[in-house]
């Protein structure tokens, strides 16, 4: 059993590595951004009420976020995109403990470059970008689904999101300092993945 947080700036690779590590270890990947996007796609009341904030790259309220996560929390998990504020971390402490926080550390330049290149498969959720390009532009290699660009993947929004990260999310590094391991995320996928898996093995969170 493992209770993990994958932490980092927007576009650090939290989604990519959560999926890869989940596939390798069987630990369930939970992305609060995906949970919110599903609410929007299903056009639920919650989905409609958050669309404006999501499009602007602003944070959804802590109460709504924690409530939605609580409903979707398995025993063993990789959290991707949560917590984003000190208050969320404190609220989550009442719900669950945490074994390890993996900080995937990248520069602002990497963040902006990756944002403009990111494409996602509408059908299976596979992620493409600078380092993982599809064989055919606009088409998913895995399932043939259509690749799309998220509404919030533009330069203005990513700069706003970096500011939100610096003001509200970065202070969590101190909150979790006893559980924190830092991984250099300014590299290609494989060495980063190997570093993360090695760390999990060293901490006996994965055999
Ligand atoms: P992500 O897919 O993690 O980049 O999240 C996309 C958007 O979903 C963010 O810009 C926020 O609007 C919202 N969101 C995701 N996770 C959280 C969170 N933990 N707290 C507040 N808002 C969130």
Q: pLDDT for 138-191, tens place per residue?
A: 999 999 999 999 888 999 999 999 999 999 999 999 999 999 999 999 999 999
Would you call 142 a catalytic residue per the annotation? no
Long-range pairs for 34-40 at CB < 8 Å and ≥24 separation? 34/80, 34/125, 35/68, 35/69, 35/72, 36/60, 36/68, 39/68
Say if CB 80 and CB 31 are below 8 A apart. Answer: yes
SS3 content of the chain, % helix, strand, coil (to 5): 45, 15, 35
What pLDDT was estimated at residue 186?
Answer: 93
Mutate to test the pocket of ligand 1, among 84, 115, 162 (most ligand atoms within 8 A of CB): 84
Write down the pLDDT at residue 55. Answer: 85
Mean pLDDT of 41-58: 92
Provide CB contacts within 8 A for 188, sequence distance 6+.
Answer: 131
pLDDT tops 90 at residue 40:
yes
Q: Which of 40, 44, 46 is nearest to 63 (CA)?
A: 46
Answer whether residue 58 shows pLDDT above 90: no
């Amino acid at each position: 059993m493992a209770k993990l947080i994958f932490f980092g700036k927007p576009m650090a690779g939290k989604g990519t590595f959560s999926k890869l590590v989940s596939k390798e270890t069987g630990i369930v990947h939970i992305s609060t951004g995906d949970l919110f996007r599903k609410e929007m796609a299903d056009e639920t009341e919650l989905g409609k009420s958050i669309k404006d904030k999501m499009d602007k790259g602003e944070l959804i309220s802590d109460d709504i976020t924690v409530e939605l996560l609580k409903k979707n929390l398995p025993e063993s998990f990789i959290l991707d995109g949560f917590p984003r504020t000190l208050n969320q971390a404190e609220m989550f402490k009442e719900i669950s403990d945490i074994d390890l926080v993996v900080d995937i550390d990248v520069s602002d330049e990497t963040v902006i470059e990756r944002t403009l290149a990111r494409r996602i498969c509408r059908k299976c959720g596979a992620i493409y970008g600078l380092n993982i390009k599809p064989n055919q532009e606009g088409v998913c290699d895995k399932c043939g689904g259509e690749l799309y660009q998220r509404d919030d993947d533009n330069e203005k929004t990513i700069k706003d999101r970096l500011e939100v990260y610096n003001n509200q999310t970065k202070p969590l590094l101190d909150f979790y300092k006893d559980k924190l391991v830092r991984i250099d995320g300014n590299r290609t996928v494989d060495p980063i993945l190997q570093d993360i898996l090695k760390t999990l093995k060293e901490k006996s969170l994965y055999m």
